[in-house]
Amino acid sequence: MSTAAAKRVRQQIMPWLITAVLLALWEILTRASGVSNVVLPPPSEIGQAMIRYHALITQHALQTLLTTMIGFALALAAGILIGLAIGASSEVYRGVYPLLVAFNAIPKVALIPLFVLWCGIGAIPAVLTAFTLALFPIVVNVATGVATIEPEMEDVMRSLGARRDEILVKVGIPRAMPYLFASLKVAITLAFVGSVISETVASNDGIGFLLMGAAARFEVSLVFAGLVVVAIMAVVAYAICEYVETRMAHWAFRARAG
Amino acid sequence: MNLQLVSAPTPMAAPELARGEPHVALRNVSLVYGGGDDQTLAVDRVTMQVAKGEFVAVVGPSGCGKSTLMKLVTGLLPATTGGVAVDGRVVDRPIKGVGMAFQNSTLMPWRTTLRNVMLPLEIVQPFKRERRRRRSEHVARAERLLESVGLGGFGRKYPWELSGGMQQRANLCRALVHEPRLLMLDEPFAALDAFTREELWGVMQDLWMRQRFSAVLVTHDLREAVYLADTVYVMSKRPGRIIHERRVNLPRPRTLAGSFEPEFIGIVHGLRDKISEARA
């Protein structure tokens, strides 16, 4: 095996190795220190809880996955439209941007009571919370991509006689694509945060609800099992977004690599 | 800054029509940037003409408003005073179908070189109307043009896969694919190394001799100006004024070897002296 190939293999193994080492340390330390399972259960306990409650966990995880994905999809559609509208016109950009920043500064948890008031408890507040959290990074990135067209590029287009909508379609949108795909990774993670938080206070379904219930019953290994499942779903979704990013805007990556 | 000079119209000089019908005419054109106390006079009472099919170069110290002049001609910037006319019509908005090439090639990284070159055909009429029906013709046209600048077979590459010189060749192709009657060049070769630059002068001259568009080249390279242009205008430092006009009557096609002949060098030195005066 060449050294380059060996290095690649080493790089791929590294994250797994570090995870394994951390889990082993955790296991050893919790057992050696004799800390109670109700405070911090060792990984083996958490694993057992995952197996024991797998039907329950799966049911709630699917619910969380569903609300997250719906919220994310809505944020994607709305984010692209709002981002294009904002980025395409400097007046709209200047007018709406402060509002967006203010909107983003509101802690989204504070909106959940409103959502409950409007829609009742359940899946809808979770979807809405995921949506509001995921929306901002998408809007900002798309708007930035469109608004930062090089002035020379715009001069070329204008001197060819291109209309504003033609400049948007031929330059603005393709240019915004890498920005959009870069925002998806952030947005999908935030969408999970949103739906789980909402489920903890305003739902009878989902991982968030499972966590609250388990904690109330001092089933701490089940709490951790739920956290692990959310983390796994988020990592997988993140990886998918990253894959889509490199595939869809390959020119941005290769152009950067030179 | 005293701007009274701008607002007071000076009597217009009789238009010089010795070189045939003007394609582009600037009369006493001034441009003031900014407003209130923060005004800057960028271009000061410029009068110049570009005849049909003429190659004009504008040289001057950097920051003298050469690039501003290009935007004035194409209507991308409105003149503060004075008049710009193209084909006898007053320019009051961006004029359509002009070819443009800048120092950085502004090719779109998400399009292949061929699709970049074909961009004007998707925007400028009558090509836009026919772009579906005559697609293969348009592709052939772009490929021919790429071929003629030595980029045959590179159409499927992305711009970032090409060298700087190749990108600039593709850029020229994009500026010319719709056969504009007017080409604006803003230091298109400035970022290239000396050998590539001189090579591209030849490419540019070939394209011009074949298509015979009118061209305005902004540059600070005096040899480049003399190599390519029929008329060289020298601008002063800011506020930019035309301080000298020099006809270049060297025979075409001009060659690199020719650029070392005494006559060529004499013209370059003459221009250099004028620029030194302008900088003083």
Pairwise CB contact (< 8 Å): A158 & B108: no
**Among B124, B160, B162, B167, the residue to mutate for chain A (most A Cβ within 10 A):** B160
ipTM entry: 0.76
Pairwise CB contact (< 8 Å): B123 & A158: no
E strand intervals along B145-264: 182-186, 214-219, 231-235, 242-247
The whole-number average pLDDT for the span A219-245 is 92
Residue among A141, A71, A76 at smallest CA distance from A112: A71
Nearest Cβ partner for A255 among B100, B104, B160 = B160
Global pTM reads 0.78
Residues in A touching B160 (Cβ below 8 Å): 251, 254-255, 258
Amino acid at position B120, single letter? P
The answer to whether A110 and A178 have CB atoms below 8 angstroms apart is: no
pLDDT on residue B14: 38
Largest CA-CA distance found in chain B, in angstroms, rounded: 58
The answer to whether B75 and B24 have CB atoms below 8 angstroms apart is: no
Q: What is the pLDDT along chain B (280 residues), one digit of tens a residue?
A: 444 444 434 444 434 444 567 888 888 888 888 777 778 888 888 888 888 889 999 988 777 777 788 888 888 888 888 888 888 888 888 887 788 888 877 888 889 999 999 988 888 887 777 777 778 888 888 888 888 888 888 888 898 888 888 888 898 888 888 888 889 888 888 888 888 888 889 888 988 998 888 999 998 888 999 999 999 998 887 788 888 888 888 888 888 888 888 888 989 898 888 888 777 6
**Pairing of the two strands B242-247 and B231-235:** antiparallel
Query: Nearest C-alpha of chain A: how many angstroms from B124?
Result: 6
Residues in B touching A160 (Cβ below 8 Å): 96-98, 100, 119-120, 123-124, 178
In chain A, which among 154-213 make CB contacts under 8 A with chain B? Answer: 155-162, 166, 170-171, 174-175, 177
The whole-number average pLDDT for the span A6-11 is 86
Query: Nearest C-alpha of chain B: how many angstroms from A90?
Result: 18
Residues in B touching A180 (Cβ below 8 Å): none
Query: Nearest C-alpha of chain B: how many angstroms from A138?
Result: 21
In chain B, which among 153-172 make CB contacts under 8 A with chain A? Answer: 158, 160
Cα separation, B227 vs B205, in Å, equals 9
The answer to whether A159 and B74 have CB atoms below 8 angstroms apart is: yes
B82: three-class secondary structure by DSSP: strand
DSSP string, B168-180: HHHHHHHHHTT--
